[in-house]
Structure 1
Amino acid sequence: MNVTIRGHHITVTEAMNNAVHDKLTKIARHFDQIQSIQVILSLDNSGASDGGQKSHKAEAIMRVSGQEMFVQALEDDMYKAINEMADKLDRQVSKYKTRLERNKVKGAGRDARFVDSADEDVEPVA
């Protein structure tokens, strides 16, 4: 699993890097087919000019075979944003994993539309 962490308007510290890696290893334990994860940590100052709280944003783009998942979390603390981002990503991974397992089970049986001609009772045409 390839993990890339970038900062936008913020310097990514070693503690932030460790927090992201700790959370993402828990997700990797649930699902082993992750190809790459790109994490962007940013500081959004749009609400700060009018007296609002500065908003910390954590975004993640995760690539698995055949699909790309995107999550983002906005919080007043960067570590809260990282935790929320990881929780959202974990929920998406579990939904994706459940969908894969359901499709495996559904595809295992015979389809009712296709019936062998030996199974049908065919009356001879006179």
Structure 2
Amino acid sequence: MQIIISGRHFNVTDEMKAQINERLTGILEHKSLKISTVRVILDQEGSRSLAEVIVNIKNHDIEAKAESYDMNESVETVIDKIEIQVRKYLDKMQDHHRERFDKDIVEASSVEDEEMVEEEDFA
């Protein structure tokens, strides 16, 4: 996973890069996420601070934006938003597989029940 941190009209400090890397790595380290790149764009326009994160997952992109008057607050907010979206994405992936698994179990048990009924009829 490659994390690219860039600043527009703003110099990103090494401390801020380390903090962002640490938080994003902790959130995005799940095994089933096939992440190619993570792009973090920090923008300072006058007194407004904008933070944007784009996570490129195989067949899916997750994006979040946050704006405030403090850059650290914008970064924290956007990372929290990404965390929520990643959790929702993982839940959808798990639910999808769970539903298919449940259907297979129901079908298998109904076939076994039918076979038992047929055997009882012959006895």
* TM-score interval (norm. to shorter): 0.7 to 0.9
- Which residue pairs with 1:36 in the alignment? 37
The 5 A counterparts of 1:1-126 are 1-29=1-29, 31-32=30-31, 33=33, 34-45=35-46, 54-108=47-101, 109-110=103-104
CA distance, structure 2, for counterparts of residue 40 and residue 56 of structure 1: 11
Among all aligned residue pairs of Structure 1 and Structure 2, give the percentage whose two residues are the same amino acid: 25
Residues 19 and 82 in structure 1, CA contact (< 8 A), matched pair in contact too: no
How many angstroms does 1:28 deviate by?
Answer: 2.0
State the aligned residue count: 106
* 3-state SS of paired residue (1:99): helix
Q: Deviations over 1:59-103 (max 9, x none)?
A: 010011210011011111111111111100000000000000000
For residues 23 and 80 of structure 1, what CA distance do their matches in structure 2 show?
14
> What letter matches 1:101 in structure 2?
Q
Whether the aligned pair in 2 keeps the contact of 1:4 and 1:37 (CA below 8 Å) is yes
Q: Determine the C-alpha separation between the residues in 1 that align with 2:10 and 2:56.
A: 25
Structure 2 unaligned segments of length 5 or more: list them. Answer: 115-123
- Which has the larger share of helix? 2
Task: Report the TM-score, using the length of structure 1 for normalisation.
Answer: 0.76
Normalised by the size of structure 2, how large is the TM-score?
Answer: 0.77
Question: Residue 22 of structure 1: SS of its match in structure 2?
Answer: helix
Q: Alpha carbon RMSD of aligned pairs, Å?
A: 1.9
The separation in 1 between residues aligned to 2:87 and 2:3, in whole angstroms, is 19
- Report the Cα offset of residue 35 of structure 1: 2.1
